[in-house]
Structures are given as C-alpha cells and as structure tokens.
C-alpha cells in the first residue's frame, strides 16, 4: 500500500505575524485621525500667530500667567479663547440639541438645531449648536452658537464655551470607596435650569458615569470618572439639561457647611 502523503499544512494567521515581527508596521491613519491631526496643527499655528488684545491675554502670552485656576479664582473675565487654548489641553464635543427634519419622519437627534424665520423672500434658516469643552482634568465649559451655516455655528459655540470655562472640584467621597484619587464629585450637588433638575452623587471607583449620554459628555470632559445621577423635569431639552449639569458642577466649588 502506498504511504499517505502528509497533510498539507494550512496557512495560519500566526504565520503572518511571525513574518512581520521585526519589521516596523506603519499603520495608515484613519480619516478621523488625519482630520484630528490637521486641526491640531492648525490650532497650534493659530496660537503662535495670536496677537492678544486684552491685558490678560498679553500676560498669558508672555508667560506671566500660567495657570487657568489663577484666572478663574480671581474672577477675571476671559475675553479671548486663545487664553484657554494656551493654558489647558482643550478637547471639544458637540451635544445633540437638535433633530433631523423632513423625510423619514425626522426627529432623529442631531448636533444642529435648525430653525427658520419667515421672510418675504421665503424661509431663512438658522443653525445653532451646543458645544462642550474641557481638559478632562477639572475644567469644563459649555456654549451655544448660532449662524446661517452649521460650521460657523459650531465655531461660535466652541469659542463661547471656552470663555465660560469653570473649575470643577473633584474628590473621593463615596462611602464605599476609600482611595485618594480625584474621580468623582466631592459631595452631593444639585443643579437646575428651567424645569430640569439634576443631582450628582459620589460613586466608588469603577462605577462609571451613570447618566444620560449628553450629561456623560460634559462629565467626561470635566474629568469625572464615576458618578450616580438623578434627573427630574423635561430632560429632552438638551440645553437646559446641560445648563443644569454645569450648575451642579459649579457647586462642587462650595464648601460643605
């Protein structure tokens, strides 16, 4: 009888890994990464060519003021967004405040709120956006912008959010957590805006953000990792929900009596 030929070895996934070990793998950046990179470069260039118009701006540019807390604690008004750009590592996000219009029933959540006013010539559309900025380390701000187009509305919103930046005190105050990291709110805080009420409650490490998506975005950029929350009122109104959240975060600066 003839001997059976040894079974041919299948090509396995691991073989490829072996082959590329040692040679450097250059991953193609995704479109998002490339865009982010480009924005970062643009921002850096803009910051370098910034000519401050206010006293505070000049002090920040010359390096006399190097800490954002200094500005916020002394109640100085920030009038130039570059001040914030220069002092903290700003990350931005858009809250979904609007809804899609027209076909397919509309109503899907969108970052742009589209409104119209009636003119003799027809309807004129205006877009507004709600931006949140923060450094994920105790600084956060929200702002609303309106413009005839979507992107200028976003830019205005981001600028306003930077000017309205607040400080958020964090701590570890949950009864079942005893680390000394700054990961949650230092005590129970309540915020309100319109009919919306929100309560933020300290949570132990690993809890995550127990809150709605839009509230989560704000808390994340503020640098809070764990929190429980409760909301009341018409939380569908993103604007009031965001404002109430900011109101609550602002109250972390108050000392317990």
User: Could you tell me the smallest distance in angstroms from the CB atom of residue 245 to Zn ion?
Assistant: 21
With CB under 5 A as the contact rule, the residue among 78, 161, 168, 172 that binds Zn ion is: 172
Would you say 71 or 203 has its CB closer to Zn ion?
203
Would you say 172 or 198 has its CB closer to Zn ion?
172
Q: Does 208 bind Zn ion (CB under 5 A)?
A: no
Which residue's C-beta sits nearest to Zn ion?
172
Largest CA distance in the chain: 97
Extended strands (E) in the chain: 91-95, 98-99, 109-110, 112-119, 122-134, 139-147, 166-167, 189-193, 196-202, 209-210, 227-232
| Cβ neighbours for 164, distance < 8 A, ≥ 6 positions apart | 141, 142, 143
Q: Does 153 bind Zn ion (CB under 5 A)?
A: no
Judged by CB under 5 A, the stretch of 41-49, 123-131, 140-148, 172-180 that binds Zn ion is 172-180
Contact predicate 171/186, CB 8 Å: yes
Would you say 58 or 169 has its CB closer to Zn ion?
169
With CB under 5 A as the contact rule, the residue among 179, 194, 195, 234 that binds Zn ion is: 179
For 241, how many CA atoms within 13 A lie in the half-sphere containing its CB? 23
User: Could you tell me the smallest distance in angstroms from the CB atom of residue 223 to Zn ion?
Assistant: 14
DSSP 23-54: SPP-PPPPHHHHHHHHHHHHHHHHHHT----S
Report the alpha-carbon distance of residue 160 to residue 146 in Å, rounded: 11
Would you say 78 or 172 has its CB closer to Zn ion?
172
Judged by CB under 5 A, the stretch of 20-28, 173-181, 193-201, 246-254 that binds Zn ion is 173-181
Q: Does 95 bind Zn ion (CB under 5 A)?
A: no
User: Could you tell me the smallest distance in angstroms from the CB atom of residue 244 to Zn ion?
Assistant: 25
Q: Does 177 bind Zn ion (CB under 5 A)?
A: yes
Tokens standing for residue 187? 């005590």
For 142-159, letters b (16+ CB in 10 Å) and e give bbbbebeebeebbbbbbb
Angle between helix axes 213-222 and 238-250 (nearest 10 degrees) is: 30
Q: Does 201 bind Zn ion (CB under 5 A)?
A: no
Tell me the site size for Zn ion, rule CB under 5 A.
4
Q: Does 47 bind Zn ion (CB under 5 A)?
A: no
Contact positions vs Zn ion (CB under 5 A): 172, 177, 179, 205
């Amino acid at each position: 009888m003839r001997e059976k030929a040894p079974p041919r070895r299948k090509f396995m996934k691991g073989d490829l890994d072996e082959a590329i070990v040692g040679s450097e793998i250059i991953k193609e950046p995704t479109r998002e990464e490339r865009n982010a990179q480009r924005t970062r470069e643009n921002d850096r260039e803009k910051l370098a060519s910034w000519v401050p118009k206010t006293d505070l701006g000049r002090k920040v540019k010359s390096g006399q003021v190097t800490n954002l807390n200094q500005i916020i604690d002394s109640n100085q008004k920030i009038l130039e967004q570059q001040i914030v750009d220069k002092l903290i590592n700003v990350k931005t996000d858009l809250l979904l405040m609007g809804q899609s219009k027209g076909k397919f029933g509309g109503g899907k959540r969108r970052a742009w709120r589209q409104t119209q006013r009636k003119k003799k010539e027809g309807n004129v559309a205006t877009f507004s956006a709600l931006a949140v900025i923060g450094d994920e380390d105790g600084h956060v701000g929200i702002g609303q912008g309106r413009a005839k187009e979507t992107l200028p509305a976003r830019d205005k919103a981001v600028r306003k959010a930077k000017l309205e930046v607040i400080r958020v005190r964090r701590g570890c105050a949950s009864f079942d957590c005893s680390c000394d990291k700054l990961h949650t709110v230092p005590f129970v805080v309540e915020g309100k805006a319109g009919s919306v009420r929100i309560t933020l409650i300290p949570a132990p490490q690993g809890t995550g953000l127990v809150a709605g998506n839009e509230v989560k975005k704000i808390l994340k950029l503020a640098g809070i990792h764990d929190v429980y929350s409760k909301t009341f009122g018409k939380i569908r109104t993103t604007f009031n929900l965001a404002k109430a959240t900011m109101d609550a975060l602002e109250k972390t600066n108050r000392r317990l009596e």
